Structures are given as structure tokens and as C-alpha cells.
Amino acid sequence: DTAVSQTPKYLVTQMGNDKSIKCEQNLGHDTMYWYKQDSKKFLKIMFSYNNKELIINETVPNRFSPKSPDKAHLNLHINSLELGDSAVYFCASSLRRQAIYGYTFGSGTRLTVV
Amino acid sequence: AQKITQTQPGMFVQEKEAVTLDCTYDTSDPSYGLFWYKQPSSGEMIFLIYQGSYDQQNATEGRYSLNFQKARKSANLVISASQLGDSAMYFCAMREGQGAQKLVFGQGTRLTINP
């Protein structure tokens, strides 16, 4: 069973469209994250949720809206997609009180905006 | 200010040799954690090793060890007896504070193992 699963793995779409990426974890973790990896491979956190509560929002355009229906799911919705949104988006999860054990990442969603 | 610095954009090593990937960090928090992740060409992020700021001994996991020099604020990853499958991007990352919920990553080092 995949611990952190993201769908879709690849997403190609036109500028101006709205798209969603879904993430689910079956590890019993209470904290989930979205990271963005740009074309230079730099990884930066976008959002973090703990038990469905937003705890980190790192100066991300408000076209990006995360939603966490429960602590096992964290979805990312992007409105009015722009060329600069092309990147790989990683979902991750951790157990807040045991963060020393690392963060488990999903396999990534490669978003290409044309 | 850059919190995590990896100064080696690329490294080329012969198979079976040991390799050290450099990582320096910057924090004023006495409690922090340092992580290394591997990202092969397939794209997934694989957790390799963790070092806590209060850990007395350097962390080891199989062929991976972390050379933790607290006074110098460095946390270099050492891979012994490198294998072709070790070719990948390697990222150093830091979590500040006990309750902090985010990892801050370095720029990464692309390691290539030559046969």
C-alpha cells in the first residue's frame, strides 16, 4: 500500500484553467504539507495542515487554495493557471510529535502549463 | 538568508569509492533536526538519515552516515562503497524547533557514480 499517494502524476493544461491535485496518506499522520519543486530542483514549502487546520501558508498566491477534509487528505486547487506554475508539486505527511522520524513524501505531480 | 547551503552542485565519483556531500546550516534555535533525502531520476523523495541537534553520536543508516559538526554547523552526508544506484539528487534539509512543521531544503547536489 502506498503511504502517501498523489493524483494525478502528470498534469498538462492550458493557461487560465483551474486544476486540482489530490493527496491521501494512510500512515495515521496528523500533519500534511504541499511543497513545490521548481525547474532548478529547489523545494519550498507552500502549505501545512495539522488535523485539518492550516498552520503554514508561505506567501503563496491566493490562486492556490488547499483543502483538508480530514487529516488523511490534503488537496490543492489552483485557479487561473499561469506558465510560472509549472513545477513538480509534492505532498508530504508527518506525525507532529514524532517529526524526528522524518517526513514521508508522495511521488509528486508534474504540472505543465502551456 | 539561506538556511541550508549545499555548495556542490554536482559530484562525480567512481563506483565503490566513498563520497561526502557537504551541507552547512544556519539557525539560532538550540533545538533542530537535520535530514538528508535522495531524489532519483524517477522523482520520488526518499528519506535517508536524520540527526537531532541534541544527539551525542553521529547518525548512521547502513552505508549512510552523517558527519555532524555542531560548532561548525555542518551536517555532511557520507556514503560508503558507492553504487551505481546511488546516482541521484541529494537534498539536505532542516527542521527548526520541536514544534516546527516545515522542512527547509538546500539547493541539492547531483551525484553521479561512474562504473
Q: What is the rounded CA–CA span in Å between residue A89 and residue A112?
A: 11
pLDDT along chain B (115 residues), means of 10: 88 97 94 93 93 93 96 97 97 79 91 97
pLDDT of A107 strictly over 80: yes
Q: How many residues does chain A have?
A: 114
Under the phi-then-psi rule, with left for phi > 0, alpha for psi from -120 to 50, and beta for the rest, what region is A55?
A: alpha
Query: Which of B95, B101, B108 is nearest residue A56 as measured by Cβ atoms?
Result: B101
Secondary structure (H, E, C), chain A: CCCEEEECCEEEECCCCCEEEEEEECCCCCEEEEEEECCCCCEEEEEEEECCEEEEECCCCCCEEEEEEECCEEEEEECCCCHHHCEEEEEEEECHHHHHHCCEECCCEEEEEC
Whether A101 contacts chain B with CB within 8 A? yes
Q: What is the pLDDT of residue A10?
A: 97
* CB contact A27 to B (< 8 Å): no
pLDDT exceeds cutoff 90 at A103 = no
pLDDT at A55 over 90: no
Share of chain A above pLDDT 90, in %: 74
The pLDDT value recorded for residue A50 is 86
Mean pLDDT of A43-64: 89
pLDDT at A99: 59
B99 near A CB under 8 A: yes
- Looking at the complex, does the CB of residue A100 fall below 8 Å from at least one CB of chain B? yes
Structure confidence at residue A18 as a pLDDT band (50, 70, 90): very high
pLDDT interval class at A59 (50, 70, 90): confident
A111 near A37, Cβ under 8 Å? no
* Between B79 and A71, the higher pLDDT residue: B79
Closest CA to A85 of A112, A48, A58: A112
**Which residues of chain A make contact with B47, given a CB cutoff of 8 A?**
102-105
Indicate if the pLDDT at residue A1 is higher than 80. no
> pLDDT confidence of A113, banded at 50, 70, 90?
very high
CA dist B41 to A59, A87, B45, B78, B89, Å?
Answer: 29, 15, 10, 20, 8
B107:A42 CB<8 A = yes
Which of A41, A107, A110 minimises the CB distance to B108?
A41
d(CA B111, CA B18): 12
B103 with A108: Cβ contact below 8 A? no
What pLDDT band is residue A98 in, cutting at 50, 70 and 90?
Answer: low
Cβ–Cβ contact A39 with B under 8 A = no
> What is the pLDDT of chain A when averaged over all its residues?
91
Burial letters B84-109, b for 16+ CB under 10 A, else e:
eebbbbbbbbbbbeeebbbbbbbbbb
What pLDDT shows up at residue A102? 72
The CA-atom distances, in angstroms, between A89 and each of A63, A99, B18, B20 are: 15, 21, 32, 29
Is residue A55 less than 8 Å (CB to CB) from chain B? yes
